[in-house]
Amino acid sequence: MTSLEASRLFEELRNRRPLVHHITNYVTVNDCANIAICTGAAPVMADAIEEMDDMVSIAGALVLNIGTLNDRLVKSMLAAGRRANELGIPVIVDPVGAGATPYRTETVNQLLNDLDVAVLKGNAGEIGIMAGSDAKVVGVDSHGVKGDPVEICSEYAERLGLTVVMTAPEDIISDGKDTYVVSNGHPMMELVSGTGCMASTVVGAFNAISKDRALASASALVAMGLAGEKAALEAKGPMSFRTKLFDSMYNMTPADVASGAKVRKI
């Protein structure tokens, strides 16, 4: 992958404006909708099981986020995911807090077992726990993973037959064959609730316009991380950073992505 490939996908996303259907958590739902718009996609945030078939049918990607988990949402996620599978629409799962409670871990396993998931995107602790590595999650925050993150991601991706995205100071993206490392981002992104959820939205948007899941996911994290870098240049604290993050994504150009991407294939 080159910076030009990420730039090309970003330009195509802006031209096509795909619809990204979310069943997500209510803590960050508005931020996810706004980052979708600023990236160049169109969001819909619908979780009523009665409209899952209709809503999924018009989407380019489906993002399932278990941040504020309950049985009603799980049923809607499964219904939406099955419909997405029927239509060949990519399903992105964000296993927020997996490992913090058995309910969360079991729910992620249910989604992975019952659905054809295209991308599993989580922080180091969440991915490490799901992969069976020595990792720790407290609440919804990662407390790290022991072992080689590249090896963990690539082996887990190959085992599940999907693309695994592990977000960290250096993001790892692997489909078991191709593995990318993205170094874009800024420490202030950890000071604002929801940047991980927003990253999943951007991953969904890029996967809506490319069937190369690893390339699309890596390009998404380049764009999200680059927006964080640009936002931090003018921010005075977490809340001004949050506002600048949206502005930076909105004002980003394909040329910015081409010149600012910090990505390598390993």
Residue 6 CA: distances (Å) to CA of 60, 67, 225, 236, 264: 19, 28, 13, 29, 11
Percent above pLDDT 90 for the chain? 89
* Residues 88-143: tens digit of each pLDDT: 999 999 999 898 899 999 999 999 999 999 999 999 989 998 988 754 444 444 44
List the domains of the chain with CATH numbers.
16-180+189-212 (3.40.1190.20)
- Lowest-confidence segment of 102-116, 141-155, 162-176, 214-228 by average pLDDT: 141-155
State yes or no: pLDDT of 210 exceeds 50.
yes
In a 13 Å sphere around the CA of 139, the CA atoms on its Cβ side amount to 2
pLDDT, residue 203, reads: 98
pLDDT, residue 2, reads: 74
Whose CA is closest to 12, among 246, 207, 262, 245? 207
Q: What is the mean pLDDT of the chain?
A: 93
CA separation for the pair 68, 218 (Å, rounded):
26
pLDDT, residue 144, reads: 55
- Buried b / exposed e along 87-110 (16+ C-beta atoms within 10 A): eebbbbbbbbbbbbeeebbebbee
Percent above pLDDT 70 for the chain? 95
Task: Between 251 and 140, name the one with better pLDDT.
Answer: 251
> What is the pTM for the complete model shown?
0.94
CA separation for the pair 101, 48 (Å, rounded):
25
DSSP state of 101: B
State yes or no: pLDDT of 257 exceeds 90.
yes
Helix axes of 149-160 and 124-131: crossing angle, nearest 10 degrees: 50
